[in-house]
Amino acid sequence: MFIGYDCLKKTKSLKLSVCLPSQSLNNSVSPLLVFVNKLKYGSGMPDPYCPRINGRCMKFATMHPMFPQKTINNQPAVSWPSFFSAQGPLAEAVKGYESRPQQIQMAESVQKALDQQEHLVVEAGTGVGKSLAYLLPCALWAVQNNKKVIVSTHTKALQEQLVQNDLPLIQSILNEQGLDFRFSLLMGANNYLCLDRLARCQNPQMDLLESPLPAGLMDNLTNWAKTAQTGLRTQLPVKVPDHAWRHMCRDTYLCLGRKSPFYKSCLYQKDLNQARKSHIVVVNHHLFFAGLPVDNIDAVVFDEAHTLEDTASHYMGFSMNNQSFKWLLHEIYQAESTHGLAHRLSAMAPGWKKSLEKNIHQLHKQAQVFFSNLVSHTRLTASAHRFTEPLTIPDNLTEPLMTLSDLLSEAVKASQSAEHEADIRSHLEKVMEIIKVLTAFYNPFEPDKAYWMESTKTKKAEQISLFCAPVDVSDMLNNTVFSLYNPVILTSATLAVGRSFQIIKSRLGLGESLETFLDSPFPFHKQAALHIEPNMPDPKTDPVAYEMCIVDKCIELCDCVPGGIFVLFTSWALLGKVHDKLKHDITDRPVFKQGQSLPFQLIEKFKKAKNGILLGTDTFWQGVDVPGQSLSCVVITRLPFASPSAPLEQAKMEYLEKQGKNVFNEYTVPKAIIKFRQGFGRLIRTQTDVGAVVILDPRVQTKSYGQAFLHSLPVCKTTRSKPELKVFFENT
């Protein structure tokens, strides 16, 4: 083997040439030229992330330049640190911009990860400006080296912030520097208008729409689509009702691809082509795990990375429910109308239609029996029930579903057009997915998965669902994310427990990585007060007295807090009880509760009220951003431990116990601390915000683990009584 170094005049970088005997590699590869980005790889140590042929490293990367570079890929040389200076482009473009050391430090860490191709975990507290801290280095790196970076978020709010505010700002600044930076947004299939399906909706012979649409809606959409550059639902010129949108949106099962007469004008393809040309593509975690439609990804940034485990678990699992089952049968055949797939297949023989009608009628009846047996067999007293053994109730669905799949397969063979074939196949795929779920629940369970049922009651109906999900996603994430993409950057305001990333890295399957901790630049000791309510009953040992006190303390807070109060719960039942009581007793403030309307609508009402009371649980612990007086106090009613009776949590804890872990200290408490910090983070959102966090759970002081929760918070003022709390607000 020959190893030699060479200085390239064009790029002024160091090149390491490694020539191996041709028989040591595939016949098509004899000399192997490797550009390394770490000297350790050049000294005989293999790059652990590189692609391999017969076990041999095949990585091509570029080292740090030996000499100052003037241009890369004919792009002007631009240094990102100058952007963050007090006199830099950001200061000129953003009113009130302040150069923050934490933001610069985070950008340095991101740049190091990109240059050295190492994974990075970075916690950046509120106010650091983490979005720009990773976007600017990524944008420069991508545009100067012709790279593609995926930026994935959990919430739509952050996604909109990046696409509507941060990235246009960066694009404008880089354009002024002579850099042609491009970015784009990609969303899930059902967010895009499909021109093929739109045309089908307008075809009276298809008879797809069950309810009339507003006058002119179809014409408006058709005319707009002729010049539209995107098919995103949020960009449509008119609002399309949900019942119609499900027949117009893109459906991967129904997509004809190049066979479609609308392929050349396909709006989704326009967005996809834009993404392929972009340096940064913004997606959400759900789309990332469902499968990205773009290739040649050079780096991945996961913002809001504390949600990655749950999202990955969701996409590695599967589910079915009685309502979607009923709707699928309804889509295939409706006896009482001319809607449904069967009525569109006019070429099928009368015997086939009679068989299908009989089969669908049977499945409707069998489904009612199946889901009724499921509930009665489990003696469901809570909203969820975990199965530890395969179902023992009669499987009366699989056989008729197999018959249905045979009938649809027969229709595929007899289909007379690509549209009809795609239509049939889409329904056939959904039938096969249900058979897959039933097979899993009637066969021996896999030891690393959780199986459970949930029941959700609404005013219209009861939804009964079966779920299966893995209890450990670390191997999957290691194989499909951290070993596939390099670098991967994980960031959030809440990733660490006790200034350590060990737990999150272990749960996500991340090995060696760079690590950075960045505290919030906000002066919490001036802006925030922490009030731990004294003499509160223990919610575990005296739940009745505790619940009564919650109502009393919330009413008392109204006398101390002039602005809005955000009350966070861990139980829907308790939230409902407290809401009903507050709604009756408080007349001078509006009282809102999660579930009354869509989350964004509810939050807007809360913002406008200025002194409202908003009761929320679960998802409201994170992602709610209400600056100013509208949110002056966050009340944490109870430490946010996951319910040990929740099926997936229960299975995870049993799985960890079998591994010899101290489940409470190594999983339960750390997970609760992350959510606790998320709840606290709803309070101070800007440099001028002031407010208080009130804790109504005495265990932060009476239990040994309580200190871990308190130590996870920034240093704040403390108040020991309601009068002190009132004085705090009067003085701020």
Residues 272/237, Cβ–Cβ less than 8 Å: no
For residue 556, the model assigns a pLDDT of 94
Residues 111/137, Cβ–Cβ less than 8 Å: yes
129 φ, ψ to 5°? 85, 45
Question: What is the rounded distance in angstroms from the CA atom of residue 110 to the CA atom of residue 121?
Answer: 9
Question: Is the pTM here over 0.75, yes or no?
Answer: yes
CA geometry: angle at 381 spanning 377 and 386, to 5°? 65
Residues 148/279, Cβ–Cβ less than 8 Å: yes
Instruction: Go through the chain and tell me how many residues it has.
Output: 732
For residue 337, the model assigns a pLDDT of 67
- Check residue 479 and report its DSSP letter: I
Calculated CA dihedral for residues 266, 270, 276, 280, nearest 10 degrees: -140
Question: What is the rounded distance in angstroms from the CA atom of residue 617 to the CA atom of residue 626?
Answer: 16
pLDDT tens per residue, range 436-448: 999 999 999 999 9
pLDDT tens per residue, range 596-634: 888 888 999 999 999 999 999 988 998 788 999 999 999
Residues 8/66, Cβ–Cβ less than 8 Å: no
For residue 16, the model assigns a pLDDT of 42
Q: What is the DSSP string of 219-281?
A: HHHHHHHTT-S--BGGG-SSPPPHHHHHHHB--TTT--GGGSTTGGG-HHHHHHHHHHH-SEE
Q: Give buried/exposed letters for 635-657 (b at 16+ CB in 10 A, else e).
A: bbbbbbbbeeebbbbbbbbebbe
Question: What is the rounded distance in angstroms from the CA atom of residue 75 to the CA atom of residue 141?
Answer: 11
Structure token pair of residue 484: 């596939």
For residue 460, the model assigns a pLDDT of 76
For residue 522, the model assigns a pLDDT of 93
Residues 720/693, Cβ–Cβ less than 8 Å: no
Maximal CA-CA distance, the chain: 85
For residue 45, the model assigns a pLDDT of 33
Question: What is the rounded distance in angstroms from the CA atom of residue 58 to the CA atom of residue 670?
Answer: 40
What is the dihedral sign for C-alpha 442, 446, 447, 449? negative
How are beta strands 31-34 and 52-53 bridged, if at all?
unpaired
The long-range contacts involving 339-344, CB below 8 angstroms and separated by at least 24 positions, are 339/207, 339/208, 339/210, 341/423, 341/424, 341/427, 343/207, 344/205, 344/206, 344/207, 344/420, 344/423
Taking each helix axis as running N to C, give the angle between helix 130-145 and helix 101-116, from 0 to 180 degrees, rounded to the nearest 10: 40
Locate all alpha helices (DSSP H) within 379-518, ordered by sequence.
Answer: 398-414, 418-442, 474-477, 502-508
**Residue 67 CA to chain centroid, in angstroms?**
42
What is the dihedral sign for C-alpha 567, 570, 576, 577? negative
How are beta strands 31-34 and 149-153 bridged, if at all?
unpaired
Residue found by looking up tokens 């773009």 in the block = 294
Residue 289: Cβ within 10 Å count: 22
Q: Give the residue ranges of the chain where pLDDT is below 70.
A: 1-78, 205-208, 210, 337-338, 380-382
CA geometry: angle at 371 spanning 368 and 372, to 5°? 75
Residues 336/345, Cβ–Cβ less than 8 Å: no
